[in-house]
Structure 1
Amino acid sequence: MSHDDHTVPPSTLALRIKAIETLMVEKGKVDPGAVSEIVDIFQNKLGPRIGAGVVARAWSDPAYKTRLLENGTEALKEVGVGGLQGEAMVILENTPEIHNVIVCTLCSCYPWTVLGLPPTWYKSAPYRSRIVIEPRSVLAEFGLKIADDREVRVYDSNAEIRYMVLPERPAGTEDWSEEKLAALVTRDSMIGTGVPLAAPAI
């Protein structure tokens, strides 16, 4: 499965948004560069960096990690994050025994307040259908080989509940600051289709 499935036509909503954007640019109401910058902020800076900060804090602060796993919605509020539609957030911890991955099979519900804009592949029909049926195969296509003795759990988000994965902390980061740890956290590791970056070898 390709991460960007170009054979799938854009959704009606995507086409309408593009038409509105084009009209606004033509009328001089919006700078096209500004639109790209806003998308970049949500996709690469604001959203995923917020989630990465939450993960780093959980790795560094056992009490916060406990609160995050017990009640993700309330623990996220502690760091100023809340779902705009009031949906609950559930945090799923990856362990040596269990690997979690998230999907939204019916639409594209996504924890964008902590992860930014969803990647194209997350909304694609192949990912949404196959990850539930053959998660190990799909994860292998992302370059993530899960050991046969490790359980894979797939969680289906909806309008009321959004999920985020708390990935395993990389080895060799025991004395790292939260800021340094956050730099290792990838968006895909918080979806479950990837893992954090490894600590550089000394």
Structure 2
Amino acid sequence: MSNLQGKQPGHRHTDDHDHHHGSELSEMELRVRALESVLVEKGYVDPNALDILIETYEHKVGPRNGARVVAKAWSDPAYRQWLLDDATAAIASLGYTGRQGEHMIALENTPAVHNMVVCTLCSCYPWPVLGLPPVWYKSAPYRSRAVIDPRGVLREFGFELPAETEFRVWDSTAEVRYLVLPMRPPGTDGLSEEDLAELVTRDSMIGTGLPKTPEPKRELT
């Protein structure tokens, strides 16, 4: 597995999911719940602290922090360049730091290149900017197919890129987490950072989706 220049130490898989995960996901959820019960019963985990942690990353953080990072990069060319040069510092400047986000790299999507992130070994994920990983991100089918058939994965997410678009699949590790900087949607000139952030989706920052497009303004009659 090779790396892009200046984008290390994670791994990149170049271009050349099934979302029918039923039994795998059910089994995974059962295992997690069983493990949680054992840890709580043995006193290794405080259930109240666990609830607070989940509440924080699911609802208070979620992908909203990442959306603000992307919106600022779309609006501020200097910040965009800083994000691409030193994502850890640029993201920290907005107050988004902490566990699972100590070492960040931003990957810019362009008309010629599309980046997608996976963790083939487990579920490494940038919590401070994206919150908790979705269940499908942790599933074995996504982790394996994202590398060998990224275009097929994207089709199952509902969109397909031109054949000439280069795919770059990045493998998160314990050392580094990735944030995809999606392309700014057309028709967003003049929008505030707050409005732009509303267009940024979690999947677009993983590379498995696109930002939303703004709704056309209705003319008053």
* TM-score, scaled relative to structure 2: 0.79
What SS is found at the alignment partner of 2:184?
coil
Q: Residue 136 in 1 paired to residue 151 in 2?
A: yes
CA RMSD of aligned residues (A): 2.4
Instruction: Name the CA distance, whole Å, in 2 between partners of 1:2 and 1:44.
Output: 27
Q: Structure 1: which 5+ residue stretches go unaligned?
A: 24-28
CA distance in 2, matches of 1:193, 1:141: 9
Tell me if structure 2 keeps the 8 A contact 1:55–1:182: yes
For the pair 1:17 / 2:36, whether they are aligned, the reply is yes
Q: So what's the TM-score if we normalise by structure 1?
A: 0.87
Please state whether the residue corresponding to 2:23 is helix, strand or coil: coil
Aligned counterpart in structure 2 of residue 164 of structure 1, from 179, 183, 200 = 179
Letter of the structure 2 residue corresponding to residue 16 of structure 1: L
- C-alpha change, 1:44 and 1:136, in structure 2 (3 Å) is farther
Corresponding position of 1:101: 116
Structure 1 pair 86–39 and aligned structure 2 pair: CA distance change class (3 A): closer
Q: Identity over the aligned pairs, expressed in percent?
A: 53
In the TM superposition, what whole-angstrom CA distance separates every residue of 1:127-159 from its partner, at most 9, and x where no partner exists?
Answer: 000110010011101112011011111000000
Contact residue 93 and residue 167 of structure 1 kept, 8 A: yes
Instruction: Work out the CA distance in 1 between the residues paired with 2:101 and 2:152.
Output: 34
Aligned counterpart, 1:7: 23
Measure the CA separation in 1 of the matches of 2:155 and 2:59. 24
Distance 1:98 1:7, change over 3 A: same
Indicate conservation of the 8 Å contact 2:100/2:124, yes or no. no
What is the SS of the residue equivalent to 1:163? Answer: strand
- Return 5+ residue gaps in structure 2 as ranges: 1-16, 42-46
Residue of structure 2 equivalent to 1:177: 192
Aligned residues: 194
Partner of 1:191: 206
Distance in 1 (CA, whole Å) between partners of 2:212 and 2:76 is 20
Which of 61, 69, 72 lines up with 1:46 in the alignment? 61
